[in-house]
Structure 1
Amino acid sequence: MEARRENRELTDIELTENALAVLRKRYLKKNDRGEPVERPVDMFRRVAANIAEAELKFKPGEEGRALYEEYRGRFLRMMLERRFMPNSPTLMNAGRELQQLSACFVLPVEDSIDGIYDTLKHQAIIHKSGGGTGFAFSRLRPKNDIVRSTMGVSSGPVSFMAIYDASTDKIKQGGTRRGANMGILRVDHPDIEEFITCKNDNDQITNFNISVAVTDAFMEAVERDGEFELVNPRNGEVTKRVGARELFKKIAYGAWLNGEPGVVFIDRINADNPTPQFPIESTNPCSEAHLPPYDSCNLGSINLALFYDEERGDVDWDELRQTVRTAVRFLDNVIEQNNYPLPQIEEMSKGNRRIGLGVMGFADLLIKMGIPYDSEEGLAFAERVMRFIDEEAWEASRGLAAERGVFGHYEGSRHEARGDRVRNATVTTIAPTGTISLIAGCSGGIEPLYAVAFMRRQADMEMPDVNPEFVRVARERGFYSEELMKKVAEQGSVRGLEEVPEDVQRVWVTSHDISPEWHVRMQAAFQKHTSMGISKTINLPNEATVEDVERAYRLAYSLGCKGIAVYRDGSREEQVLSTGKTAKQPEPQPRHVSLAEARNGRPRTLTGVTKKIRTGHGPLYVTMNDDEFGPRECFIVLGKPGGTASAFSDALGRMISLALKHGATPAEISHQLKGIQDGHPAGVGPNAVLSVPDGVAKAMAEHYLVEEDTAEAREELPIIGACPDCGSGLTRQEGCVVCHSCGYSKCG
């Protein structure tokens, strides 16, 4: 009986259809025809065996072989039970030719042409291997500063960011997708204002997240409404004094406008840096891993939802302890097994041995325990759980140090100063869990539920996809109905639904039910017991003001957060140009019949409107002209004359004009073009532009179909573009971009 149970545990894993689809598409080993040649259980066996091989490096002979067999089994069981998942590169690459197991890296950017382009080459090597990259451009001299070797002037940090961005466009991560970058500039750099606004146009520097490295001195100047000095990093000279609050408002305005830039509190990060001999200037692309140059991320997450003890109504702390300690050993082994893309990265990664054990399924666990996310009880529970995980992780690291030795850069570290012999410089961080939370079947990271249910397209039908735990509760409490499930799926939240009991509404909260203050306070609660940082999105309603963003920043700083990223729903709206009397939108036009003969030639003068739409391929100009019968013609301009984009847009405009001439309505044309996606979306929220045809559809709908802007349409869950895998809406969560339909995650 026991043998059969053991065998079942090591061969079976419960996976949803979406999880299986994601594994087949991105994780499982494939043959030359792109067909999977391993099952999910084979993948986990491959990973467990490869990571356990590190045991043989520390203990030779029979003892090493025994440890290998023991931990191969423990690692496998931990993953098959979905209690722990390593980051995506480890699942994809462990035991395969690439063997690149790290999610992200930080590279230095030196103030020289050689340094800048050496790093550009290193970025390309890392992206080719499947990793993301973080950069601080703060060492670069400002724009128009002198370059003595040529007696010319510098073009400044933002110009070199654009070069790195262009390189990213050409190289796919691990041969499958474009890489992700983080660009950081210190708040006291003379080019800070140009940096803050470099992504105001959503078609610029599209492969970077950007954050401002905010100093304590700056925040103090903001509080006292004082002046703040901008300093040339080349020579330390003050180039300008600015009003701190004015600069603070510009940072907040950028975040209010489209979510960029984020903020990292760089002095606080370095105050907690366990290896001060290697100062931290930047972070990984989602800003939770604070790394010195050439260091790497080594991440994994524990599924908290599976540690609920229903009989006791509490966490099974003993099981959680065991999993934490096994996961720490797993991650330390990853450092040994990793095939690093650069020798400098291998030296720094093995010298610091940073690991980042995090969590997922936190919202699921709160719901099982009946604790509202946005409550004092929820904050206290968050602190309790993370304190336990952090303390147990350090205990595991001390045990590994006794067994294997302290980390290479222990001398000069804060750990040495305390006399604390540990194996790893850091042990915890909370990273985006994206697809690994989908594989584990739980909520992402420490975020609240994004929605209780979704409308998911299956076999050309819209079907409600409801959280199974909510369905169970609804059936047990007697308020289940198919009609209610559809209503929940359409709304996303249960707040305000009369059919749902008040206590259930209180516990089943979603990210958009929760005020920004509670989001920040929850992040701060976890930060108290986390070695590095936290990837989390602070959701703001569309009507939020710049002052609301400023308040969120101040609160995050005052509560001890190490960074903050806000997202205001629907904040990347298209820009519209119109002239003269056409600036006022006309009344909706009635349905048009065939008018080709009546029109019989184009009048010499027509009136109309031109709208400018931001697309993933650059600015799009859509001109719509009317004659006495109604909508008559459409001209579409994109890109330079003579190019493919220009030819395509010109052809689309001609076909639309032909259709209008023969009586097609703007509603019919917009309906045909709306929702077409090409994998390069621009903007966020309901106004996200998914492609050039989708942009044209939006321009026509806005100009002609004002009656379609109904309250029902505005209640849809906000999207920020189209999923490149399935075409469904992307959303922002855990400081990342994810698709809830198929499991795609920009962060892996």
Structure 2
Amino acid sequence: MKSSNSTRTIDLSPNALYILKKRYLKHDGHGRVIESPSDMFRRVAATVAQAERIYDRGADTARWEDAFYGLMSRLEFLPNSPTLLNAGRLSGQLSSCFVLPVSESFRSIDKSLEEAKLVQVSGGGTGFNLSRLRSGAKGDKDGPVSFLAPLSTTTASVKQGGIRQGCNIAILDAHHPDILDFVSAKNGSGELSNFYLSVGVTSEFMEAVKTGKNYRLVDPATGRTVDTHNARDVFEHIVAQTWKTGDPGMLFLERIHASNPVPALGEIEGVSGCGEQMLLPYESCNLGSVNLVRMLKDGKKPEVDYMKLDEVVRLAVRFLNDVIDVNTYPLPQIAAATLRTRKIGLGVMGFADMLVRLGIPYDSEAALALAEKVMGFINKQAHNASAALGKERGVFPSFKGSVYDRPGGPTMRNASCTTIAPTGTISLIAGCSNGIEPLFALVYMRRIMEGKSLLEVNQDFIREAKERGFYSDELVSKLAQGIRLDDMENIPSEMKRLFVTAPEIKADWHVRMQAAFQHNVDNAVSKTVNLPHSATAQDVAAIYMQAYELGLKGITIYRDGSRRRQPLAMRIDPGLVVKYLKEC
């Protein structure tokens, strides 16, 4: 059977086309683009659909190829970047991130460095938990902080799949004797710029912060208490560094371990680069996101099309399962670990855009209620789809001893199903807002690679402004200068309320929104609490405590301007604005 829909016209923005041509589409030996976006989606769909014949030699792969192609070309769902980039090409590595174990021996450290390099070359990011490394406080060169520099050097010289510089996350337990050095590790020359840092905290630590009491520092080799620190002092040190540099973030370890679906295999080792996927040693994360703005019924009063959403979720779960089967893994240990649990991470993007179309402000009770309802539906249907695949293909190999292994339990094909990823680049391709983030700004710069920046202008706002009669070139120019809607005259108050942006939203709304999604997600939620430059250290401290109280698994905070180079910025090249106004 021949595939159909091979020449679908895809609704892509100029910025999406630019990034596709630079990063994703095939080039010939002279650097010329030799495939279209439609060709790319067809390449990915054809490759992934081949997994169907693993389970049924007579499977109609053309049927599934067309289904997967339609899902992507309509921009209803997109997989993580490595799948778009590498499917059907020489690399064949389709996963976004990997967690690599690190232990205290010289051999283990050298092995971890070599494995990290192989993963990065293949197009993946890496996560490390350094909590098993012995303390370097007494001059031992093998402490956790000393491991960061060579690892950063190793990956800084490698572009992921030849496309971009490697991304890493390093975690250290707050009970480790070197915790203060770790927290300050990014306070110097910037050599760890391709590393995110996160402190793993326990309820013992957080409750001691509240009371101002001391807590234990534990030797990872012996498990013995070797010292104590005042928890509030350490917490304030974390807060100060986060305020200053954007690092470290915070992970709530007991919640992460409590939600491990396969405890018989051991504890969670670490998380993916943006903290969204909880993984055992050598596991990979295989992610994809539903574009929520494409899940609305057309009409004068848009509403969520739950029938369509159900269809998209079920097909996306099958797609991600097939990705696991056709994937080429960079290490045999990664292949084995991934296949035994078959974890997938289906999430969302375009949430803020969906709210705008529905007329719901992001920082409102109605938005929180919708987040709970939509993600609850997606989570339920993803689990149903996984259970149906389990009946069709068998449960995941490590099902015995899992949380599902009980009388009447679901026949899960995947140990976990849902995750909220940041979707930085795939949301640009899909033409929607990132993940569950609010609108960053109505006009801003997106830094993508090699010093190149793209001007982003919110088209929903431009359309509303034109329809309501308050659009002008001057309006766009003012927004580009950083002037807020609230400070402009002749803008309807309901538009100011609806198009609220991240720095204008009070921090507690950011955290409450993350909690609303976390209630209905197997893994974790990647979200950044974006603070204005004027935010204080006390603001940061309050966010960390609220995240703990609301049951989050992790939290990331970023104060505008606290890094010299940041991916999204409201400081805009006037020339790009002039160019935009001439072309629009």
Deviations 1:166-209 (A, max 9, x none): 11122222123321111110000000011011111252322211
The residue correspondences of 1:724-743 to structure 2 (distance < 5 A) are: none
Asked if the contact 2:5/2:66 (under 8 Å) is kept, the reply is no
Give the corresponding residue for 2:213.
226
Deviations 1:130-173 (A, max 9, x none): 1100000100110156xxxxxx9454111111111111122222
Deviations 1:564-586 (A, max 9, x none): 110111224xxxxxxxxxxxxxx
Q: CA deviation at 1:404?
A: 0.4
Asked if the contact 2:272/2:279 (under 8 Å) is kept, the reply is yes
Deviations 1:60-92 (A, max 9, x none): 12xx1x2x1221111001111100111110001
Q: Does 2:401 match 1:412?
A: yes
Aligned to 2:503, what secondary structure does the other structure show? Answer: coil
Structure 1 residues 684, 54: closer, same or farther in 2, change over 3 A?
closer
The residue correspondences of 1:695-710 to structure 2 (distance < 5 A) are: none
Q: CA deviation at 1:447?
A: 0.7
Identity of aligned residues (%): 48
Unaligned runs of 5+ in 2: 448-452
Question: What is the distance in 1 between the residues matched to 2:468 and 2:169?
Answer: 47
Deviations 1:370-393 (A, max 9, x none): 000001111111111100110110
Give the corresponding residue for 1:268.
255
Aligned to 2:545, what secondary structure does the other structure show? Answer: helix
Give the corresponding residue for 1:373.
362
Partner amino acid, structure 2, of 1:116 = I
Q: Does 2:501 match 1:533?
A: no
Task: Provide the alpha-carbon RMSD of the alignment.
Answer: 2.4
Give the corresponding residue for 1:141.
134
Q: Equivalent of 1:324, from 310, 313, 316?
A: 313
Give the corresponding residue for 1:48.
45
Q: CA deviation at 1:532?
A: 0.7
Asked if the contact 2:271/2:279 (under 8 Å) is kept, the reply is yes
Q: Equivalent of 2:343, from 349, 354, 365?
A: 354
Asked if the contact 2:137/2:178 (under 8 Å) is kept, the reply is no
The residue correspondences of 1:27-66 to structure 2 (distance < 5 A) are: 27-61=24-58, 64=59, 66=60
Structure 1 residues 492, 536: closer, same or farther in 2, change over 3 A?
farther
Aligned to 2:481, what secondary structure does the other structure show? Answer: helix
Question: What is the distance in 1 between the residues matched to 2:221 and 2:537?
Answer: 33
Q: Equivalent of 1:252, from 214, 239, 244?
A: 239
Q: Does 2:179 match 1:192?
A: yes
Partner amino acid, structure 2, of 1:514 = I
Question: What is the distance in 1 between the residues matched to 2:43 and 2:365?
Answer: 43
Give the corresponding residue for 2:450.
none
Deviations 1:379-427 (A, max 9, x none): 1111111001101100100100000011111111111147222010111
Q: CA deviation at 1:517?
A: 0.8
Q: CA deviation at 1:718?
A: 5.4
Aligned to 1:302, what secondary structure does the other structure show? Answer: strand
Aligned to 1:210, what secondary structure does the other structure show? Answer: strand
Q: Does 2:77 match 1:77?
A: no
Deviations 1:472-521 (A, max 9, x none): 21222222223223323333642332221001110111111111111111
Q: Equivalent of 1:501, from 492, 499, 504?
A: 492
Q: CA deviation at 1:445?
A: 0.7
Question: What is the distance in 2 between the residues matched to 1:685 and 1:470?
Answer: 22
Asked if the contact 1:372/1:508 (under 8 Å) is kept, the reply is yes
Give the corresponding residue for 2:482.
491
Question: What is the distance in 2 between the residues matched to 1:232 and 1:498?
Answer: 61
Give the corresponding residue for 1:13.
10
Question: What is the distance in 2 between the residues matched to 1:342 and 1:478?
Answer: 58
Asked if the contact 1:135/1:184 (under 8 Å) is kept, the reply is yes
Deviations 1:681-722 (A, max 9, x none): x45599xxxxxxxxxxxxxxxxxxxxxxxxxxxxx8259xx9
Question: What is the distance in 2 between the residues matched to 1:229 and 1:389?
Answer: 41
Aligned to 2:404, what secondary structure does the other structure show? Answer: helix
Q: Equivalent of 2:117, from 103, 106, 124?
A: 124
Structure 1 residues 25, 332: closer, same or farther in 2, change over 3 A?
same
Question: What is the distance in 2 between the residues matched to 1:132 and 1:685?
Answer: 17
Q: Equivalent of 2:284, from 287, 292, 296?
A: 296
Give the corresponding residue for 2:157.
170
Asked if the contact 2:6/2:39 (under 8 Å) is kept, the reply is no
Q: CA deviation at 1:9?
A: 8.2
Question: What is the distance in 2 between the residues matched to 1:321 and 1:77?
Answer: 15
Aligned to 1:443, what secondary structure does the other structure show? Answer: coil
Give the corresponding residue for 1:393.
382
Structure 1 residues 104, 466: closer, same or farther in 2, change over 3 A?
closer
Question: What is the distance in 2 between the residues matched to 1:435 and 1:232?
Answer: 41
Asked if the contact 1:289/1:532 (under 8 Å) is kept, the reply is yes
Give the corresponding residue for 1:203.
190
Deviations 1:218-251 (A, max 9, x none): 1122222221000001111211111111111111
Partner amino acid, structure 2, of 1:283 = V
Q: Does 2:441 match 1:451?
A: yes
Q: Equivalent of 1:112, from 105, 114, 123?
A: 105
Q: Does 2:294 match 1:306?
A: yes
Structure 1 residues 347, 410: closer, same or farther in 2, change over 3 A?
same
Q: CA deviation at 1:728?
A: 9.2
Partner amino acid, structure 2, of 1:69 = A
Structure 1 residues 492, 428: closer, same or farther in 2, change over 3 A?
farther
Asked if the contact 1:161/1:205 (under 8 Å) is kept, the reply is yes
Question: What is the distance in 2 between the residues matched to 1:272 and 1:492?
Answer: 44
Q: CA deviation at 1:310?
A: 3.1
Aligned to 1:99, what secondary structure does the other structure show? Answer: coil
Q: CA deviation at 1:463?
A: 12
Q: CA deviation at 1:548?
A: 1.3
Q: CA deviation at 1:323?
A: 0.2
Structure 1 residues 455, 494: closer, same or farther in 2, change over 3 A?
farther
The residue correspondences of 1:436-585 to structure 2 (distance < 5 A) are: 436-454=426-444, 466-491=457-482, 493-572=484-563
Deviations 1:569-621 (A, max 9, x none): 1224xxxxxxxxxxxxxxxxxxxxxxxxxxxxxxxxxxxxxxxxxxxxxxxxx
What is the TM-score when the length of structure 2 is the normalising length?
Answer: 0.93
Question: What is the distance in 2 between the residues matched to 1:392 and 1:684?
Answer: 36
Give the corresponding residue for 1:425.
415
Q: Equivalent of 1:285, from 253, 265, 273?
A: 273
Asked if the contact 1:9/1:80 (under 8 Å) is kept, the reply is no
Computing the radius of gyration over CA atoms, which structure comes out larger, 1 or 2? 1
Structure 1 residues 493, 384: closer, same or farther in 2, change over 3 A?
farther
Q: Does 2:332 match 1:343?
A: yes
Aligned to 1:235, what secondary structure does the other structure show? Answer: coil
The higher-RCO structure (CA 8 Å, 6+ apart) is 2
Structure 1 residues 360, 456: closer, same or farther in 2, change over 3 A?
closer
Question: What is the distance in 2 between the residues matched to 1:133 and 1:428?
Answer: 20
Asked if the contact 1:570/1:685 (under 8 Å) is kept, the reply is no
Give the corresponding residue for 2:570.
717
Q: After superposing the two structures, state which structure 1 stretch, 160-169 or 360-369, moved more.
A: 160-169
Q: CA deviation at 1:456?
A: 9.9
Deviations 1:540-576 (A, max 9, x none): 222222221111001011111110110111224xxxx
What is the TM-score when the length of structure 1 is the normalising length?
Answer: 0.73
Structure 1 residues 463, 523: closer, same or farther in 2, change over 3 A?
closer
Asked if the contact 2:511/2:547 (under 8 Å) is kept, the reply is yes
Asked if the contact 2:382/2:418 (under 8 Å) is kept, the reply is yes
Asked if the contact 2:6/2:42 (under 8 Å) is kept, the reply is no
